[in-house]
Amino acid sequence: MPTTPDIRSLVENFTNELTQVIRRAALEEVHAKLTLAIGDVSAPKRRGPGRPRATVRKGAVRTGKRGRPGKFTPEQMEKHGASILALLKKSPGARSAQLAAAMKMDADTLRIPLKALMAAKKIKVKGQKRGTKYFAR
């Protein structure tokens, strides 16, 4: 029959091993839940073969040109600036979305000539963000 210290060491070894098994199982369960929640973080996601086609936003006009919007030659900037000023003289207090619709241009693209006109102090601006209204000087 084993002595008391032998039994005690056997019980301690058993409890240590049991504790390690429980910890490992808990960690694996947490890892599995996290993997479901945020995806597998061990391997980076791969993109598919090719980039998806760009979608046209509602109200935007596709020009067929490629590249970043807002790349204008000085002549185009002057032409757009003149038409923006003419629109603002007809309807002062117009917002950029209204100007873009009137010019049949994307609002993001229209922002470039608007900033140039503001820098040249040809137009006044009142309001902030979506409530911004533009006035000809």
| Closest alpha carbon to 118 in 99, 100, 97, 134 | 134
Q: What is the pLDDT of residue 42?
A: 63
Residue 122 is classified by DSSP as -
| Residue whose entry in the numeric block shows the structure tokens 């067929």 | 64
Rounded CA gap, 6 and 8, in Å?
A: 5
Mean pLDDT confidence for 120-125 = 91
What CATH code would you report for 74-136?
1.10.10.10
Exposure b/e, 3-20, CB count within 10 A at least 16 = b: eeeeeeeeeeeeeeeeee
Q: Does residue 36 carry a pLDDT above 70?
A: yes
Chain mean pLDDT for the chain: 82
| Closest alpha carbon to 104 in 118, 90, 84, 85 | 84
Higher pLDDT, 105 or 26: 26
